[in-house]
Amino acid sequence: MKTLQLEKYNIHVVTLPLPFDLDHVNCYVAVDRDGMWKLIDCGVNTEQNHAAWDKRISDLGLDWKRLQAIYVTHFHPDHYGAAGWLQEKSGAPVYMLPSGLEEVEILFNNRKHFLGELADYYQRNGVPEPLTQEMMGTLSKTGSLIHSQARLSPVEAGTRINLGGYEYEVIWTPGHAEGHCCFYGRENGILFAGDQLLAHISTNISLWPDGNPNPLAVYLESLQQLRKLPINIVLPAHGQSFTGAAERIDELCAHHRERLELTKAAAGNGSSAYEVCREIFGDQLNVYDMRFALAETMAHLVYLEQNSKLATRLDGDRLLFYQPA
């Protein structure tokens, strides 16, 4: 796969650092012919990223007051975190899908309830109490990467927007997040993919409290929705732009079929999600990675249960998964 020249489509990449193992996020600037411009995704809210934004916009010769709109693919901090700061700086509206607005409300504006649900979720799925507390602590650190809340406006799936002089359709692609969206240009075949399609790593598909009850199912469905489109260039949130979207979608579907088989085998005759997670991912994960590995394991376990490949029973307060006779 190769880096593709995007300036001819009036698109510029802004790659910002992240304080995670996945150490960067790609945001995109689309410049219209009249000098007005729009953003897709925001990065986390840090002084380092504020300075990076200012430098990049200055280098492009753009005026913050001519920023017309900020589109956020989904509510995760590396995409939404600096939205409030960017809005304060420019006065531009911030748009998300209605389901994305609901996720912001749940996670950031009703945080106490969500954290209580999450602690119960970890305990029910077999996470030891000390590790539960450590995993909960990582959420506090994540919260610090988000500016005070932006004033959010809804954009509906199917809406057509102008980005750099080309028309793009807002496409709802749930799975990684219930409110995840992509932007597809039928004229140029460009897909602003967010976290839906990445070139070299698989998108994290996780089951969370108050989220979609079967996120892997809707993710696989949304991949097939994209596979029907003639996509020429994928602009992902992480890694380089790439071609061959259909082949990458097929690779991701094969990856999840393999992971489902491993998950089913690991469940055996009765295992908690935490035990299955350790069987698949090992016991050397740091606390941050364990949080996502467990939630991804749960997504695969629930998918198998919904398709009658696994069954569940309670062992005290713990939920166990097992292969039915």
Global pTM value: 0.96
Angle at which helix 273-281 crosses helix 287-306, to 10 degrees, equals: 110
What pLDDT, on the 0 to 100 scale, is given for residue 2? 40
pLDDT digits (tens, 9 = 90+) for 5-30: 799 999 999 999 999 889 999 999 99
pLDDT mean values, one per 10 residues, the chain (325 residues): 73 95 96 95 97 98 97 97 97 98 89 90 97 88 82 98 98 98 97 97 96 97 98 97 97 98 97 98 94 97 98 96 92
Whole-angstrom Cα distance, residue 92 to residue 301? Answer: 42
Outline where the chain has alpha helix (H): 47-59, 77-80, 83-90, 98-104, 111-124, 129-143, 215-227, 245-267, 273-281, 287-306
Whole-angstrom Cα distance, residue 184 to residue 194? Answer: 11
What pLDDT, on the 0 to 100 scale, is given for residue 3? 45
Residue with tokens 């500016």: 147
- Is-contact 132 117, C-beta < 8 A? no
Whole-angstrom Cα distance, residue 321 to residue 325? Answer: 13
Q: How many residues can be counted in the chain? A: 325
Structure tokens of 122?
């970890």
Bridge partners for 25 per DSSP? 16
In sequence order, which residues have a C-beta less than 8 Å from that of residue 176 and are 6 or more positions away? Answer: 74, 194, 195, 196, 203, 204, 205, 215, 219
* DSSP state string for 204-228: P----TTS-SSHHHHHHHHHHHHHT
- Is-contact 78 204, C-beta < 8 A? no
Whole-angstrom Cα distance, residue 309 to residue 305? Answer: 6
What pLDDT, on the 0 to 100 scale, is given for residue 4? 66
pLDDT digits (tens, 9 = 90+) for 49-81: 999 999 999 999 999 999 999 999 999 999 999
- Of 51, 57, 96, 92, the closest CA to residue 76 belongs to 96
Structure tokens of 278?
């350790």
